[in-house]
Amino acid sequence: MNTMAGTEYTMPRADFDKPVKILVVVAPFYRDVADQLIAGALAEIEASGGTHEVIEVPGALELPTAIGIAERMSKFDGYVALGCVIRGETTHYETVCNDSSRGLMLLGLQGLCIGNGILTVENRDQAEARSDPARMNKGAGAAAAALHLIALVRKWGSARKGVGFVPAVDEYRIAGDMKDTPKA
């Protein structure tokens, strides 16, 4: 019995006045599924006028780490995490699903724009249905999520200045007058 309560809603594509740059991070354990997810994600990014770079990591647990490293060491507007975890006979499935998603969520709560495209499925048929760009297209959905978050960041502008005490050295930096910075 189908327990879906209706049809899925898809938001209109995010619109940008200047192009976005997205890092697509892929755990290709199931290569054919990963390739389908990548195809869907790249098509969505390109349809929004964005550019992309694709890197691979060993597994789903490494996706958040790679994104965290990229955020510290590179310049991307957002990230798409792609991979597939198929339930096996052990509890490893729950560990990988929960911890990879938790890692991405924690990065998102820190302000990173991340689309989570890690499939967590019971079998290969479910993985193939969700990765196929002509069917459920979850790669494109993850890219669209990242793009919508980037659009929100751009809409709301830059980070606000803090409130409270500012050290004297930082006051000079903020004012742009570094030549008069006091010596320690």
Number of domains in the chain: 1
* Mean pLDDT, all residues of the chain: 88
Question: Residue 168: inside a domain, yes or no?
Answer: no
In the predicted model, is pLDDT for residue 53 greater than 60? yes
Q: Is residue 178 part of a domain?
A: no
> How far apart are the C-alpha atoms of 54 and 24, rounded to whole Å?
5
For 66, half-sphere exposure in the C-beta direction (CA atoms, 13 angstrom radius) is 21
Q: What is the mean pLDDT of residues 61-85?
A: 98
In order of 6, 66, 127, 146, 180, the CA distances from 23 in angstroms are 33, 10, 22, 10, 40
Q: Which residue type occupies 133?
A: P
Q: Which domain holds residue 111?
A: 21-158
Tell me if 170 is assigned to some domain.
Answer: no
CA distance 131 to 129: 6
Under 8 Å between Cβ of 111 and 79: no
In a domain, 164, yes or no: no
pLDDT of residue 157: 82
Tell me the two tokens of residue 178: 């570094």
Domain assignment present for 59: yes
Is residue 10 in some structural domain?
no
Is the pLDDT reported for residue 14 higher than 70?
Answer: yes
User: What pLDDT score was predicted for residue 109?
Assistant: 96
CA distance 109 to 113: 9
β-partners of residue 55 are 25
**Contact (CB, 8 A) for 77 and 22:** yes
If residue 65 lies in a helix (H) or strand (E), which one and from where to where?
helix 63-73
Per-residue pLDDT reduced to its tens digit, 30-44: 999 999 999 999 999
- Which are the catalytic amino acids? 92
Mean pLDDT of 159-180: 55
Q: Is residue 148 one of the residues assigned to a domain?
A: yes
Q: What is the CATH number of the domain that holds 125?
A: 3.40.50.960
pLDDT at 158: 65
Q: Is residue 54 part of a domain?
A: yes
